[in-house]
Amino acid sequence: MLSKKIIEDGIMPPVSDRIYSNQGNSPLIDLLDKDCKRLLDIGCGAGDNAELLKSKNTECDVFGITYSAVEAELAEKHMTQCWVFDIESEIPADLNHQSFDVLIFSHILEHVRDPAVVLAHFSRLLRRGGVVLIAVPNVLSWRMRLQFLQGNFEYESAGVLDDTHLRFFTYFTADQYLLAKSPDLQVSTKTVSGSVPLWWLRRHILPQRWSERIDQWGCRHWPNLFGSQVLIKVMKR
């Protein structure tokens, strides 16, 4: 989510000045084992995933990469180190010789021209047996289908149609496309997080526990309809 430091006179700031900030991606981070020590968050935004990881395991070392110096200043409060560079360019020498237990790509691969190449490029930094966590938006979730049926396909400042998104994925295509150039990576878990459209029932009738169970049931049986984000856990062989 793009933070509210955003628009003056209706003009979006340059990409390098944007701050992507949220509460961290809990459904993705929950896929991690607790014994992971060195993690690299690629496209780390303001460091929200790092803060979330630290709250779960104070002993882990979280590193990050962002394209924005403004984001890096915020992210470093929660990280051991944060690099500022374009992830579609060469990896800096001081990073290129390091090794990590986990690579995190949380809503970043949809922003690059060739996500499969970027993933393969960074997987060299992952130790054998290490984990890659990937989250991408599902362009065919029920909310997006309703929007498309209404004839609305306009880029926005955030969300699935973020104006910096270059690639779009579904539950069925995400892993096939993203791992196409990484033969040493194997999917161990693919799931979604999202919701079933309960509208006023959710707000006024159903207990929260029931709503959550309905959401889980819907996402399990129809992931490409009710999943708003696709979550993939990958192991390096």
pLDDT tens for each residue of 219-234: 999 999 999 999 999 9
Q: Please, which pLDDT band fits residue 8 given cuts at 50, 70 and 90?
A: very low
pLDDT tens profile 163-195? 999 999 999 999 999 999 999 999 999 999 999
Q: What is the pLDDT of residues 96-125, one digit of tens each?
A: 999 999 999 999 999 999 999 999 999 999
Three-state helix/strand/coil letters over the chain = CECCCCCECCECCCHHHCCECCCCCHHHHCCCCCCCCEEEEECCCCCHHHHHHHHHCCCCEEEEEECCHHHHHHHCCCCCEEEECCCCCCCCHHHHCCCEEEEEEECCHHHCCCHHHHHHHHHHHEEEEEEEEEEEEECCCHHHHHHHHCCCCCCECCCCCECCCCCCECCCCHHHHHCCCCCCEEEEEEEEEECCCCCHHHHHHCCHHHHHHHHHHHHHHCHHHHEEEEEEEEEEC
Query: Taking 60 as the threshold, does the pLDDT of residue 12 lie above it?
Result: no
1 — pLDDT class (breaks 50, 70, 90): very low
pLDDT at 157: 83
CA 47 to chain centre: 12
According to the model, what pLDDT value does residue 14 have? 58
Q: How confident is the model at residue 13 (pLDDT cuts 50, 70, 90)?
A: low
Burial class of residue 73 (count of CB atoms within 10 Å of its CB; 0-12, 13-18, 19+) = middle
Cβ(155)–Cβ(163) below 8 Å? yes
Question: Quick one: average pLDDT of 25-37?
Answer: 92
Query: pTM of the prediction?
Result: 0.91
Rounded to 5 degrees, what angle do the CA atoms 166, 235, 122 make? 45
